[in-house]
Amino acid sequence: MSAAPADLDNLWRDLSALSEDEAERYGESLYHKEFITHQGRSGMSTAHDGQAVRFFADRCHHATHTSKDRARQAYSKDKVAIDRIERLLWIKPIIEGRVAGIECWEIPLKVPEEGIRCFPGKRAYVSWTYSYIIWLEPLRNGGFKFSSAYTLPNSEISRYTTRARKLWTSS
């Protein structure tokens, strides 16, 4: 780990006292403050292995919202996700390799047109302890972009990692 180790419990923010609208505004403000530095459009970080990770302003909605009905509309982001906002400060330390017990997986690309691209699959940073996953997507010019981060049952995380290759485990 290059920088100081991070404790996820200390980075979690309890938003139970906020209304949904207040939590949404807080989440959007925090996302832009923590991740967006370049002309309000993007920001950079570095993954545990030195790979560049870009954060784009248009991914804020994926970091702070979820679907009202994941079974029918898994990719719709029409509901404020308080639990995602409470964990926004987890994203950088996990990706940077500053949190113990994290695994980084390379997840095979799913659709045929993705399979012909000459770069790696998606990355998933996983905390089994907190049932938390962070998704990074490969960029054509190298490095990755932040896609989303959320909690889900470990059984679902296991389904994602079944055909995956573990790249790294933090200590």
Of 61, 31, 57, 53, residue with least CA distance to 122 = 53
- The structure tokens 């926004």 sit at 88
Task: Share the mean pLDDT of the chain.
Answer: 89
Q: What is the pLDDT of residues 43-100, one digit of tens each?
A: 999 999 999 999 999 999 999 999 765 554 555 566 899 999 999 999 999 999 999 9
pTM of the model: 0.90
119-123 contact pairs (CB < 8 A, 24+): 121/164, 122/147, 123/47, 123/167
136: three-class secondary structure by DSSP: strand
Q: Is pLDDT above 80 for 154? A: yes
Does residue 32 come out as left (phi exceeding 0), alpha (psi in the -120 to 50 range) or beta? alpha
Report how far Cα 134 is from the mean position of its chain's Cα atoms: 3
Q: Is pLDDT above 70 for 163? A: yes
Q: What is the distance between the alpha carbons of residues 123 and 168, in angstroms, rounded to a whole number?
A: 11
